[in-house]
Amino acid sequence: MDKLESLEKKFVCFFREYGKYIMGGLLGGILGYFMLMASELVNDLDGIWHLSNFVAGDWEISLGRGLQRYADRARFGIVSSPWNTILTLLLIGTANAAIVKKFSLDKSLYAWLIVILLTVNPVICNSLSYSYMSVNFGLAYFFSVLSFQVITITDNYKAALVRGCLGGALLGISMAFYQAYTCVTSVLLVIFALKCLVEGTWGRAMLRYATSCVCALASGGLAYLCITKALLYRAGIGLSSYKGADNIGLWRIVSRLPFSLSRCYQEFSAFFAEKKALSNLEFIDLVLAGLFLSCLAAAALQFARLFRRRRAAAALFLAAILLLPAAGCFVLLIAVGNSMTDLTALGMIMCPVLLGVIVPRDGKAGFFVKRAYLLFLLCFAWFQISAVNLDQAALKEGKNATVALAENIISRIYDSGYPGQWDQVAFVGRPGNNDSFAKNAAYQAANEYAKFGCWSTDARNNRASWAGITSNILGVNINQCSEEDYKELTALEQVAQMPEFPAEGSICVIDGIIVVKVSELY
């Protein structure tokens, strides 16, 4: 009972002292994602498929995300962009406040920059565009940070093992919501090790920390395996082959480790070089260059100081710096052969953002490096906020253009009298490639996930996305043909020769199915 009371007091003290960061992150998130909430914007794939009510089923369990079902049930399956976004922002804000506390950054500009940058960025915006499961992303992030909080330097090896196992259990829970946030935990662990080395922690303390980390990763994998196996058994299904989920095993991970590590560094460099999920705005290259040069200068200064005091500590510091790209892409070490996506990139963004903890605060060189770093980080935050608003504008423009095109198509179908005789429709092609689809400046400059209307052209996704537009947004029951019929239709020369809508002949009946040629790309 005393331990529970002590834990309760710690929670109360935490929220009392760091609640300003939680509420500040929430307010910043509401301002940053106001358009997304006000217009109930979602992406044009999974986001548009589920706009009313959704509870994760066997498909999510087969992907190893079994805990999503219980989180969805706790929210009664409600899919509401404003409500789910606010819940997600609260989870993210609480996790970010814990990061600020752990790195002892309270009452500083840098602390607020961390809160804003880890709340308002294109990766989180992309996650929120999956309104039906955005809270699950928030829970995965929350538990990944909570896992890191538990894995700390301890006074003895027994405590290190206990904390490692407990942290691993929390990491397993995070993975059972969404596996990609292992990258967040791994980056936090490496950054914390760097901070400890800079502050003079060495010897047995670092060995205990390493023991706790290794124990956490091992027990985390075991906990995740147990949760997944139990939920699969209960559902009476097996793992899906999607993204190689059914092909993950210890031997495969170990045997492909050199290849996986190489992929991590390739993906990390490509992410920042090609600005994936960051921004397509002008001058972002200069800001990224300045930010990385500031980080490099800080690392070089700290390495030189450590080298003069203790060379072994300097070598460990250098090794941790070199491990950061692998930590940022840690999920690639587990899911061998996959690539980083816009949804899994938060760990990579955290690397330059959190490296500020090693920026020296004393000395002439440290004075200039610190200010240069904060300046470029401030610019980076502005670019991320601008990119998020640009992406939301693109989502809105694309949604409006898609809905307008769908209304015109449906009106033409009904005006032609087809529904009285035929009851199946095939929308061939995606709206974003139709000549009448308006693509304004925001749409052209936005990230790929925000380009609503340019969804995948395969039969399943095309069918589901068109159903999302007609049924979920327009409220019209359109009986689309089956995926098999769609594949057969798109293979016909007759369909290839049809002009795209709204030209005459863009709608015709083939084998009892109303075929609408939306675009040449299908």
Burial class (CB in 10 A: 0-12, 13-18, 19+), 492: middle
**What pLDDT does 11 receive?**
86
Do 263 and 171 belong to one domain? yes
Burial class (CB in 10 A: 0-12, 13-18, 19+), 393: buried
The residues, any chain, with a CB within 8 Å of residue 317's CB and separated by 6 or more, are: 194, 197, 198, 302, 303, 306
Of 359, 384, 406, the residue that ends a domain is 359
Domain extent for 497? 395-517
Structure tokens at 409: 């198509």
Do 353 and 400 belong to one domain? no
Do 319 and 465 belong to one domain? no
Please report whether residue 498 resides in a domain. Answer: yes
Distance, in Å, from the CA atom of 119 to the CA atom of 25, rounded to the nearest integer, reads 7
Do 408 and 328 belong to one domain? no
- Starting from the edge strand earliest in sequence, which strands make up the sheet with 513-517, in order? 425-428, 513-517, 507-510
Please report whether residue 409 resides in a domain. Answer: yes
Distance, in Å, from the CA atom of 18 to the CA atom of 94, rounded to the nearest integer, reads 9
Do 354 and 400 belong to one domain? no
**What pLDDT does 506 receive?**
93
Do 332 and 423 belong to one domain? no
Please report whether residue 522 resides in a domain. Answer: no
Do 355 and 421 belong to one domain? no
Please report whether residue 364 resides in a domain. Answer: no
Angle at 203 between CA 200 and CA 204, to 5 degrees: 125
Do 300 and 417 belong to one domain? no
Structure tokens at 386: 């601008």
**What pLDDT does 277 receive?**
75
Please report whether residue 388 resides in a domain. Answer: no
Q: What is the mean pLDDT of each run of 10 residues along the chain (522 residues)?
A: 78 92 97 96 93 93 95 95 96 97 92 97 96 97 97 86 95 96 97 95 91 94 95 91 65 83 93 82 92 97 95 96 96 84 93 96 91 96 95 95 95 77 84 92 89 92 94 90 93 94 92 92 90
Phi, psi of 248 (to 5 degrees): -90, 125
Do 214 and 285 belong to one domain? yes
Angle at 25 between CA 19 and CA 27, to 5 degrees: 100
Do 121 and 218 belong to one domain? yes
Please report whether residue 429 resides in a domain. Answer: yes
Do 331 and 430 belong to one domain? no
Do 318 and 210 belong to one domain? yes
**What pLDDT does 240 receive?**
80
CA 434 to chain centre: 30
Please report whether residue 385 resides in a domain. Answer: no
Of 333, 359, 385, the residue that ends a domain is 359
Give the residues across from 517 on adjacent strands.
428
Please report whether residue 387 resides in a domain. Answer: no
What is the tally of structural domains in the chain? 2
**What pLDDT does 249 receive?**
67
* Axis crossing angle, helix 257-273 with helix 346-354, rounded to the nearest 10: 70
3-class secondary structure, 201:
coil
**What pLDDT does 420 receive?**
57
Of 359, 375, 410, the residue that ends a domain is 359
